Amino acid sequence: MKLPITLEPIPTLENLLWLSQYTNQWGECFKQTGDIDASGTLNWNPDGTGGYYGFSLIGNNSTAFTGSYNGTGYTISGLYINRGSESNIGLFGFARETAEIGNLGVVNVDISGNNSVGGLAGYYGSAADTIKKTVTRWAPFPGLIVLGDW
């Protein structure tokens, strides 16, 4: 964990939305405090063609996520992200090797992009050392940790 440890709670989808929108917070420490139903993201951010982009990523190519996110054993379910022509797509779109993400389940997701697409993270530097006890599940590959590129 990053020091000093001040864990900002993420109890709801609204808090997760807040985190995705405030790039100046992407170096801080967060703790999920309950299961989050993200199925409402299916109708977020109209794409101009009658469809939707869905959830805005936490971390992107211009501002990476460098903080820590402790899911404390909870899940995020029903997350929808549709970025067909973009790369580094996932709940955490672009996370640097200094980021720590763990103890989180990301289940029943619908995430699409061009390259480096994963349920948990699209791009994650040094993933083997910093992702702990985290599972992404969606058909046809249940139970896998799915990262786009690391």
What are the pLDDT digits (tens) for 100-138?
A: 888 888 999 999 999 888 888 888 875 544 455 454 444
What distance in Å separates the CA atoms of residue 150 and residue 138, rounded to the nearest whole number? 20
What distance in Å separates the CA atoms of residue 25 and residue 150, rounded to the nearest whole number? 23
CA distances from 40 to 37, 115, 125, 135, 142 (A): 8, 25, 29, 21, 22
Q: Does the pLDDT value for residue 62 go beyond 90?
A: yes
| Side-chain-side CA neighbours of residue 74 (13 Å) | 19
Hey, what amino acid is at 1? M
Q: Delimit the domains of the chain by residue range.
A: 7-149
Torsion of CA 89, 63, 21, 99, to 10 degrees: 70
For 14-37, how does the pLDDT look when each residue is reduced to its tens digit (9 = 90+)?
A: 999 999 999 999 999 999 999 999
pLDDT band at 98 (very low <50, low <70, confident <90, very high): confident
Residues contacting residue 1 through CB under 8 Å, at least 6 positions apart: 29, 68, 70, 100
The percentage of residues in the chain with a pLDDT greater than 70, rounded to a whole number, is: 79
Pairing of strands 100-107, 135-137: parallel
pTM: 0.83
